[in-house]
Chain A
């Protein structure tokens, strides 16, 4: 146990001393203010188009419309229930004097992570994990590492744990810096604001029977949880590529291609069934809780998580199997 702890300590020291995390923080510190500024522009443009910055008036109007729609006969009970929840949500904004469109730290961070979960966060996680084994190989230090009285699987396990640890650090940094920077620009308010969730899809039909509202902090926590899960999968797969491919640049190229191919293939997935077995088309997991129509009709949140988990488990298995048997040349 102390041996594993020492090994993990060593791996962490190497990752930190390579200064990759600092570069990563630098990227976030430059990019997040950019996004913050963009959403600020978007907000003020919206205000300009609506011609009024009295959001209370427009909210009230929306509530009235929904109420009249509820009177409509011929609508299903389910539909009415959903409208009821929506009205309650809007009423909450009015009662608590919250402008639902006004950006604050929680709202910004939530939308930022929702947008970053399928490509930006995977890229950052990939950059941190991709050279964990391949760099030791190309620097030749693997020979010093693997001639110690420690079994190979233990060395590799410490490297996998380090990758998991630092991918979690990446997700934490993204959230922390996003909340901090957007909070300073806008405000730190909006944690309790109700957010709609619980949408389901059945054969392309939106099912609203289970829709409820939850406070934004809880919603944000779920989004972060999803981002964390995605980062575990990406770091596991990057880890495998790092074990198999000797050259760090080539390894990075492979992961980059896989991630970008995934984001392109999402568009084709409605016509090509096979795409749903590729891990990188399933990264936009936040869509399932926010009520977006998923691209692949019969894919559910559970199915996407299953595919990602299977890929990760297989990746870890292949990594250990090849690494333990392999001749180190």
Chain B
């Protein structure tokens, strides 16, 4: 447990008699970016609210840097920085006043340190403007600045890229990778976008309908994805017959293209077979099954988005 920044054991939560979260357990190691993946309504926000002490679990335990969130609330919270859902800050105060509010709450009065964090999130130009004049991206960065004030071991971000444009998303991604490297902390990021988790995280946990259905390193998950090959050939009808001998799931995509599930090693074999049958190959490519497809395979149903 020493090496785990976050330990969640058998967490459950019911609202009335509806069980929203059902026996979820996982661990986040030191210095790791942990992706928490699930479709809308899977229970990501509900779990995060329990992690940060906003709602009480019906069952189960949560430890942040070894401190029980319920029994050692103050110590656990002092090791934690978070943004739950949107970066909600006092819009009638300036960015600086907002940071000072939270600094006062943790007894931090070193203005240089606050300035340093302001520079880190690149808000130095606008920090003395009212927050209501900020763009969403700036609010997001101010939210992160606020979460970093207490040098947390664990940073929890709930769908941080929601509403950001592609440039903003890339910037956030680079930023998170940078702070993890320099500050040696763990980051817990929830998202309903597979591509995002793939690009940012080391480990991924997949949650669906309140249950954890998979937890593994992102690289392992990528390896598990199946390869699909796409063939552009001169005689499609004959091609289908031939391909069916070596592969399942042969689908005609257009007048000249076929798609089939196949391992890498079978490709030369297929090429020889096609050539021997006088079929011309205009294009042959191998594509990876998207994580979207993978997700559907795990959960056995379509995501809602």
Contact = CB atoms under 8 A, between A and B. Distances in A.
Given A9-B104, A148-B105, A143 B77 contact: no
Given A13-B101, A147-B53, A148-B105, 19 more contacts: A3-B107, A6-B104, A10-B101, A10-B104, A10-B105, A14-B93, A17-B90, A18-B92, A140-B86, A141-B88, A141-B89, A143-B84, A144-B88, A144-B89, A148-B77, A149-B73, A151-B73, A151-B74, A329-B49
A68 interface: no
A139 interface: yes
Closest 3 CB pairs of A and B: A140-B88, A149-B78, A327-B55
Interface residues of B, number: 31
B56 interface: yes
Nearest to A3: B107
6 contacts: A14-B92, A141-B89, A141-B90, A147-B77, A149-B150, A327-B54
Given A146-B53, A327-B55, A13 B86 contact: no
B54 A149 contact: no
A130 interface: no
A2 B108 CA distance: 12
Contacts of B56: 327
Contact of A147 (B52, B75, B85, B86): B52
Given A2-B107, A149-B77, A328-B54, A17 B97 contact: yes
Contact of B49 (A6, A7, A150, A328): A328
Interface string A125-157: 000000000000001110110111111000000
B55 A329 contact: yes
Interface string A314-329: 0000000000000111
A207 to B, nearest CB: 54
Nearest to A141: B88
Interface string A236-254: 0000000000000000000
Contacts of B91: 139
Contacts of B105: 6-7, 10, 148, 150
B82 interface: yes
Given A14-B93, A17-B92, A147 B84 contact: yes
What's the interface size class on A, roughly?
Answer: 20 to 34
Contacts of A140: 85-86, 88
Query: Which secondary structure dominates chain B's binding surface?
Result: loop
Contacts of B107: 2-3, 6
A219 to B, nearest CB: 41
A148 B102 contact: yes
B80 interface: yes
Interface of A: 2-3, 6-7, 9-10, 13-14, 17-19, 139-141, 143-144, 146-151, 327-329
Contacts, number: 77
A313 B102 CA distance: 30
A9 B104 CA distance: 9
Given A13-B97, A328-B55, A149 B106 contact: yes
Contacts of A18: 92
B72 to A, nearest CB: 10
B55 A143 contact: no
B274 to A, nearest CB: 60
Nearest to B55: A327
A148 B89 CA distance: 14
B146 interface: yes
B95 to A, nearest CB: 13
Interface string B41-54: 00000000100111
Contact of A148 (B49, B84, B106): B106
Contacts of A329: 49, 54-55
Contacts of A143: 52, 54, 84-85, 88
A141 B53 CA distance: 15
Nearest to B73: A151
B82 A147 contact: yes
Interface in B15-70: 49, 52-56
A93 B21 CA distance: 79
Interface in B94-135: 97, 101-102, 104-107
Nearest to A327: B55
Contacts of B85: 140, 143
Nearest to B80: A147
Contacts of B78: 149
A44 to B, nearest CB: 46
Contacts of A328: 49, 54-55
Contacts of B97: 13, 17
A146 B92 contact: no
A85 to B, nearest CB: 55
Nearest to A7: B105
Q: Which of A18, A139, A147, A150 has the most chain B CB atoms inside 10 A of its CB?
A: A147
A150 to B, nearest CB: 6
A329 to B, nearest CB: 7
A144 B103 CA distance: 12
A3 B107 CA distance: 7
Contacts of B52: 143, 147
A144 B104 CA distance: 13
